Amino acid sequence: MKKFLAIAVVAVLSVFSTSAEEWDIFALSFTENAPADSALTDIYGIKVGAPISGGPAPVYGVEASVLWAGTLDVKGVKCSLIGTDGSSGAGLQLAIVNFIHRWSGLQLGIFNYATDESFQIGLVNIIKNSPVPFLPIINCRF
């Protein structure tokens, strides 16, 4: 019985390890592309940048960096002490300086910039394609 259970566990684990989609629960990065697997592997959990994180693979959860959080697509919380940037995402984007193309959620920082859509709270808030592109304190476009 124990041998059968061990064989079953090995078989199940081998099926999951050969799946075409690669993902991790935790990733640690030092620059945008170092180590390379942290930039190319989908994260369903936490991605930490010490000091910088980034890359094209999406993060579903939290991306937290010391200096700069630059993953292109984040669904959840994207935060850094200095700045964040990317192409799209949803949730909370928190830093002194925030850049994004489209953010479905809240950008919170001193300077917030979005090209298309966002809800921003900060000293300088710019949404380029908005009817009112610049507003201090609060700006939004949905």
Whether residue 5 is predicted with pLDDT greater than 70 in this model: the reply is no
Q: Which residue has the tokens 């201090």?
A: 136
CA 128 – CA 124 distance, rounded (Å):
13
Whether residue 6 is predicted with pLDDT greater than 60 in this model: the reply is no
Give the gyration radius of the chain's Cα atoms: 19
Tell which wins on pLDDT, 35 or 127. Answer: 127
Return the SS3 of 24: strand
Could you report the per-residue pLDDT of 59-87, keeping only the tens digit for each? 999 999 999 999 999 999 999 999 999 99
The tokens of 33 are what?
A: 């592309």
Residue 110 and residue 126 in contact, taking contact as beta carbons nearer than 8 Å: no
Tell which wins on pLDDT, 76 or 10. Answer: 76
Q: What confidence category does residue 90 fall into, taking pLDDT thresholds of 50, 70 and 90?
A: very high
Whether residue 54 is predicted with pLDDT greater than 80 in this model: the reply is yes
Whether residue 18 is predicted with pLDDT greater than 70 in this model: the reply is no
Tell which wins on pLDDT, 33 or 93. Answer: 93
Which of these, 75, 73, 51, 140, lies nearest to 64 by C-alpha position? 51
- pLDDT, position 32: 83
Whether residue 41 is predicted with pLDDT greater than 50 in this model: the reply is yes
Averaged pLDDT, 101-122: 96
Which residues, in sequence order, are bridge partners of residue 27?
47
Strands 68-71 and 59-65, bridge-based pairing: unpaired
